[in-house]
Amino acid sequence: MEDRVKDLCTQAQKLFEKRQPLLSLWQEIADNFYPERADFTVSRNIGEEFASGLMTSYPLLARRDLGNAFSGMLRPTSKEWFKVGTTRMDRVDNAGKEWLQRATETQRRAMYDRHALFVRATKEADHDFAAFGQCVISTQLNRNADALLYRTWHLRDVVWCENEEGKVDTIYRKWKPYARDLVALFPGTVSDKVKQLVLKSPYEEICVGHAVIPAAYWGNKKFRTPYVSIFYEEDSKNILEEVGSFTTVYTVPRWQTVSGSQ
């Protein structure tokens, strides 16, 4: 098991190193257009002033207005802005259309449930999308598995890779949860070191990795899903969770793509 986690860490490190030069560009963009997010290559203190070096606030206002416009144009809450359907609606009878309508209503209720945090996550993603041309949103069940949970993650902490068909099928994310949160999420698999740490220092940050890769590359025949989701502790090389997934968990909207480049 430890060797498999080492392989995951090595693969993730290669992708992060390959993406490293892009962070300086994102830092420059953030300094001028999105100071609140300008921590790609530097660490921000809580009390530090944002945008103190800018001569004008016009770039910030332009990005803010563009980011705020996305939700109004694409996801107006007063309208039914999406529908569940099929690629061949001409083959769907009346009973099928009624089922699709119920599925649409169910999906809408799940997305706008107050525990799902859909509005918050998409709002954060809109401004990443406006500033950097891409964002990363995860869609999972919450801790109690009774509602969806949408989260937007910092581009600095996520890397991804396209397959031979140009589809994103491999994603790695760095995460630093508090020790108490990690024990609450994975009480049965967390390492003994973290269990002991949570008694003395519950707010100590633990380096955790999350990988979503094609199941065929994981080398485990028990998964009958196209992908496998693995949470692991980077220091102890301990696997916290290893489950099959029908999706890549993360959605990576991109403003414009260029051939041969992420």
The whole-number mean pLDDT for each consecutive block of 10 residues of the chain, a chain of 262 residues, reads: 84 94 94 92 81 86 95 91 90 92 95 95 97 96 92 96 90 95 93 91 94 86 87 92 94 87 68
Beta bridge mates, 115: none
Hey, is 83 helix, strand or coil?
Answer: coil
Half-sphere CA count of 114, side-chain side, radius 13 A:
0
What is the separation, in whole angstroms, between the first and last Cα of the chain? 31
The answer to whether 214 touches 227, Cβ cutoff 8 Å, is yes
Quickly tell me which residue has 């693995």 as its tokens: 230
Q: What is the pLDDT of residue 210?
A: 96
* Sign for the pseudo-dihedral over CA of 52, 56, 58, 59: negative
Q: What is the pLDDT of residue 53?
A: 79
Give the global pTM.
0.91
The answer to whether 11 touches 172, Cβ cutoff 8 Å, is yes
Q: What is the pLDDT of residue 259?
A: 80
Would you call 224 exposed, middle or buried from its count of C-beta atoms within 10 A (0-12, 13-18, 19+)?
exposed
Q: What is the pLDDT of residue 186?
A: 93
DSSP per-residue string spanning 152-184: EE-GGGEEEEE-TTS-EEEEEEEE--BHHHHHH
Q: What is the pLDDT of residue 233?
A: 94
Q: What is the pLDDT of residue 1?
A: 64
